[in-house]
Amino acid sequence: MSNIEVNSGDSVTIAGVSTVATPATVSQPSVNVSVQGISGGSDAHFTYTQNAASDTWSIAHNLGKKPSVTIVDSADSVLYGSIEYTDLNNLTINLSAPTSGKAYLN
């Protein structure tokens, strides 16, 4: 068995059949995608500052959603605590020890 290579424009004869290789054009299909519910590329966010050290932070953010929350102390070290969503506009953060710092809500 042999490998046969036919280039564009070459003539080929196989058992009495004659043909010429011609180039083929392959087009990529185009796809349009739209995603509903996403607009403008911006999202509501809120920064809460807890000045007095406390193990419970009650936050009225008025974002109309249950935001993601990042908590940092006054040295900007990330803290971990429990978050209780009272409703779509309020939440409570419970920490293991009284702490001051910020909560970034998005």
The token duo for 72 is: 């940092």
pLDDT tens, residue order, the chain (106 aa) = 556 676 766 666 666 666 666 777 777 777 766 666 555 556 889 999 999 999 999 999 999 999 999 999 999 999 999 999 999 999 999 999 999 999 999 9
Q: Looking at residue 23, what is its pLDDT?
A: 76
* Residue extents of the structural domains in the chain: 46-105
**DSSP notation for the chain:** -------TT-EEEETTEEEE------PPPP-----TT--TT----EEEEEEEEEEEEEEE---SS---EEEEETT--EE--EEEEEETTEEEEEEEEEEEEEEEE-
Q: Per the confidence metrics, is the pTM higher than 0.75?
A: no
CA atoms of 72 and 18, how far apart (whole Å): 78
